[in-house]
Structure 1
Amino acid sequence: MATRTYREAVDHLNSLQSNAATLEAVRASGGRLSQFAIPEMTSDLNKLNVIHITGTKGKGSTSAFTDSIIRRTRPDWKTGLYTSPHLVAVRERIRVNGAPISEEVFTKYFFEVWDKLKDNAKVAPNLRTLYPTANLGKQTVNPQTPLMPGYFRFVTLLAFHTFLELQVDATILEVGVGGRYDSTNIVPKPIVTGITALGLDHTAILGKTLQDIAWQKGGIFKASEFVVIPPVAGLSELKLGLAGKHQYQNATLAVHLAKKFIAVQTSESVDVDLPPSFVEGLKSTKWPGRCQTVSDPAHAGTTWFLDGAHTLESLQCCMQWYVSPDAALRTSPQFENRSRVLIFNCTNGRSGNTFLGAMLKGAADQLKAHDAADTDTATLFDQVVFCANVTYADGGFKGDLTTLAIPEADLAHLKTQHELADAWASLVPSFPKENIHVLPSIEHAVNVVRKLRTSVEKDVDVLVAGSLHLVGGVIEVAGLSDIAL
């Protein structure tokens, strides 16, 4: 048999993506169609020694902080980190000792899982036959559920298989969509679980206890102890590896998770508030695409500000970071001597007024806080670009960034992007119409930046926000991978 390649593995994986119609059906069902994810996962995963992390926002950053702390506190351990989504390459989701697994390792374990599932699918009439070692009780396969899992569930299974094969000592596991039926919840007994900031604006959880909320929103609360963590003395004085004021809350949770995990695994309690190894871990944490500043390696004078913020809360945090002396205001009082570009996309253009309005309000608040209130938010950006999450100008995707989730009709007519442009024009009526761009690909958007840099006597700052998929595409097309990832 010919050697199978990473490219083939990614193509096979992409075949498991849900298309736009399927995703819409899941949303319409309130997520109930996902409840059949759990039986697809299998058997004894406790040996992975899991730290399980969920929440409405900040779970990825908290996972990154926790991973960094543990690696520096116990360098003799092999540490696994599973997160989602990826920015440029799917193997970013599965990291060992801080680095994404190689293409060769990904390909090897991918096809071990793929072939096993394909072989089982040929002969298994139900899940009891498919997974004889799993504790399924009376659960049988739903007739509408395919035996091959969907994209995220497959990658989750691949991560478990990889970590088991590589015999990791600790696994930091970030949930996917969250909730009781998230496929990461198959782990029977995590060592410790963490819940980051929760969005409490849903009437479905009003009047419930914190434990109820943790179960409904995270679905990972399995322990007998529930602790609301206190602040960590001295943490606020550190310069964290991740930018943004909101990261101190995530770092606080990470410190408590790491302390608890180490105490359980070694029977040695960490009595110091911030041991030196914890400080080193917090300072050196990296998490690409989240409040990240990248100087363009090939185009002097162009600086990229990358934040995959895609909720109201995260967009507010994004503006706190961007409209500050650490980012857009860093050249103040020469604030006006830079040309600023916004590249933005989101999954639904009808949310444009809400999302873009929140960004503009956040910008105004920050300008006031930094004594730049005389600067009109209408002039904060010189150009705004709304582009589809298609990677290249020819309509093609980088393999790892292929998505079937965009409705074809929407993509053909750039419906979402036109709705965003209309929202911006409505919110900022004085903004020059010729400087609002609706474009079919990320490559088109990057080209706007390149042309602007050559046509003006100014340096160019580019804020990319609204979608991690968009941020990943920009990193790929603009050639930032070597320094951004």
Structure 2
Amino acid sequence: MSSRKTYQDAVEHLNSLQSNAATLEAVRASGGRLSEFAIPEMLEYLERIGYFPDDLNKLNIIHITGTKGKGSTSAFVNSILQHTKPSWKVGLYSSPHLVAVRERIRINGVPLSEEDFTKYFFEVWNRLQANDKRRLAHTSLMPGYFRFMTLLAFHAFRELNVDVTVLEVGVGGTYDSTNVVPKPVVTGITALGIDHVNVLGKTLKEIAWHKSGIFKEGVPAFSVPQPSEAMKVLQERAQELQASSLTVVQTPDVLPQITLGLAGKHQIQNASLAVELSREFLKKQNAFDDKGELSQTFIEGLCATKWPGRCQTVPDPVERGLTWYLDGAHTSESLDCCMDWFLSPDVSLDAEEIPPSMKRILIFNCTSGRSGPTLLSKINGKVAAQARKYDPSSYFERVIFCTNVTYADGHFKGDLTTKAISDSEIGNLTTQHQLATAWSSDLPAYPQQNIHILPSIEDAVNQIKKINDNSTSIKVLVTGSLHLVGGVIEVAGLSRVAL
């Protein structure tokens, strides 16, 4: 019997590092006080796998944070650099993944192969197991899931000799595990808002303080326009941390006329930041002749950008007449952008009279820590404001509230396993019943028989297939959770066309 480790072995080992629901609740209850140990612990893990912080500077890092748009901005930067410097090896580290955890670590836009992921995974795992001496008493033997993935990304990018690394922050900035890089080449902050990380009751000023923790001495920083109270904090922190400059980016005149690879008006701002981050990086590397205009390679990169699960339209490859609209929006602000996109004339509200046979269906879920009623009210409020000839009670013919469990037998796809929700909550469909109650409260006239509470994503997809009779045009909006979107891509067989 072979003892060779497989990709599934790596995924199982990785999943063992997840925090369970009780642990996450304890962290929330602590007010996040454990954050102060995050960087010292991460530095210790880094040393245990054979690296010093200065080694990370060789990765030539573009460090990006924000509360919304940081993934899209990272994707734009990645594509611009690939098109401008096709001979370069561009590394991209982002989160979360949609279908396979390998998606988090990409080379020139392509996820690590299962073979490479497994190889680098067990090199990091085995080093941590072998080098078990710890300086800090509170440091656990093994890091948590995201910390391990960050260590794995650093190791893979060093082994693969990338020319540049686009590094997306996980959560926050100051205490994020990516923030052990002493000197990135350039840093960027996307739009800031209070709802994405407001589980601990942070103010916008506090959020701006945490995000600006990625600023570094002598390193230029860029930001999109922010609310005045947030911008004041960014300016103060740029001085405190001695960033060489802090520039608020403006939208290039030509940018609104370009058909960006990512849909939605909000992407113009993300693309503007990506342009400036890319331009500054290339100047620093003496690899760009800046003429003060948007070069053709930049435009090509912006047009070719792909970032699955964000305002993405996917015609079903098998079911005739069925189109999936996928957006992992999970905050009030991002849902605002999602609904602007879904209600736009070229998506859901056609300029011509909509045929009576067309049906719209909503599949929705959110984690228990988020405010489901508020998010659903945002959806219905947008429908009421923009779809004026429709009663919000009839705009979506059906609504489906399901868990993020992948399969109807109660199991998760290995890469999509989550321990963040208690078994009792999943088994009792607690969140889903709360969402259904909130929907009915918001829309008392909505027919109860058209609300479905289902235990898995597979059940939800099967429900859609029951409704589809191939003579009807069905538009399905899937939103509220990137994990939900990833599960739908997996179960509905959309990977080939969506990823």
Q: Equivalences for 1:246-261 in 2 at 5 Å? A: 246-261=266-281
Partner of 2:115: 104
Alignment partner of 1:303 out of 323, 340, 349: 323
Structure 1: where are the runs of 5+ without partners?
128-140, 368-372
**1:217-228 to 2 correspondence within 5 Å?**
217-222=211-216, 223-228=243-248
**1:461 aligned residue:** 475
Paired residue for 1:387? 402
- The residue identity in structure 2 corresponding to 1:401 is L
Residue 92 of structure 1 is matched in structure 2 by: 103
Q: TM-score, normalised to structure 2's length?
A: 0.89
Matching residue of 2:63: 52
**Partner of 1:263 in structure 2?**
283
> Aligned residue for 1:37?
38
Cα deviation for residue 216 of structure 1 reads 2.1
Q: State the AA in 1 paired with 2:172.
A: G
Q: CA deviation at 1:30?
A: 2.5
Tell me if the contact between 2:172 and 2:207 (Cα under 8 Å) persists in the aligned partners. Answer: no
Say which SS state the counterpart of residue 318 (structure 1) adopts. Answer: helix
**SS at 1:194's partner residue?**
strand
CA spacing shift, 1:117–1:174, aligned 2, 3 Å: same
Task: For residue 205 of structure 1, report the CA deviation from its aligned partner.
Answer: 4.9
Q: 1:135 aligns to what?
A: none
Alpha-carbon separation, structure 1, partners of 2:57 and 2:344: 44
Q: How many residues align?
A: 458
2: CA distance, partners of 1:352 / 1:267: 47
What is the distance in 2 between the residues matched to 1:281 and 1:7? 34
Distance 1:449 1:334 in 2: 20
Where in structure 2 are the equivalents of 1:54-453 lying within 5 Å? 54-121=65-132, 124=133, 126-127=134-135, 141-143=136-138, 145-199=139-193, 205=203, 214-222=208-216, 223-266=243-286, 268-330=288-350, 332-348=352-368, 351-367=371-387, 373-453=388-468
CA shift digits 1:184-231 (9 cap, x unpaired): 00011010000000115888556x6xxx86442342111221111122
Structure-2 change in CA distance of 1:204 and 1:390 (3 Å): closer
Q: What is the CA deviation profile of residues 315-362 of structure 1, one whole-angstrom value per residue up to 9, with x for unaligned ones?
A: 000000001112112373125431111000001287222110011112
Classify 1:15/1:292 alpha carbon distance in 2 versus 1 (closer, same or farther; 3 Å): same
Specify the SS of the correspondent of 2:361. strand
TM-score, normalised with respect to structure 1: 0.91
Q: Distance in 1 between matches of 2:145 and 2:35?
A: 12
Q: Offset of 1:35 from its aligned partner?
A: 3.2
Alpha-carbon contact 2:187-2:277 (below 8 Å) kept = yes
| One-letter amino acid matched to 1:9 | A
Whether the 8 Å contact between 2:78 and 2:166 is mirrored in structure 1 is yes
Other-structure match for 1:131: none
- Identify which range, 235-244 or 39-48, moves more after superposition: 39-48
Q: Is the 8 A contact 1:393 1:443 kept in 2?
A: yes
| Paired position in structure 2 for 1:472 | 486
Please give the secondary structure, in 2, of the residue aligned with 1:181.
Answer: coil
CA separation in 2, counterparts of 1:215 and 1:429?
42
Q: Which residue does 2:224 correspond to in 1? A: none
Aligned partner of residue 115 in structure 1, secondary structure: helix
Task: For residue 32 of structure 1, report the CA deviation from its aligned partner.
Answer: 2.4
Deviation at 1:270, TM superposition (A): 1.8
CA shift in 2, pair 1:227/1:200, >3 Å:
farther
Distance 1:418 1:79, change over 3 A: same
In structure 2, what is the Cα distance between the partners aligned to 1:268 and 1:385? Answer: 50
CA deviations over 1:402-427 (Å, ceiling 9, x no partner): 00011122111000000000000111
- Shift in Å at residue 299 of structure 1? 0.8
* Aligned amino acid, residue 166 of structure 1: L
Moved more, 226-235 or 32-41: 32-41
Task: Tell me the percent identity.
Answer: 62
Say if 1:5 and 1:443 are closer, same or farther in 2 by CA, change over 3 A: same
In structure 2, runs of 5+ residues without a counterpart are 47-51, 217-242
CA pair 417-99 structure 1, distance change in 2 beyond 3 A: same
Letter in 1 for 2:23: T
Separation in 2 of the partners of 1:35 and 1:442? 38
Alignment partners' CA distance in 1, 2:314 and 2:288? 40
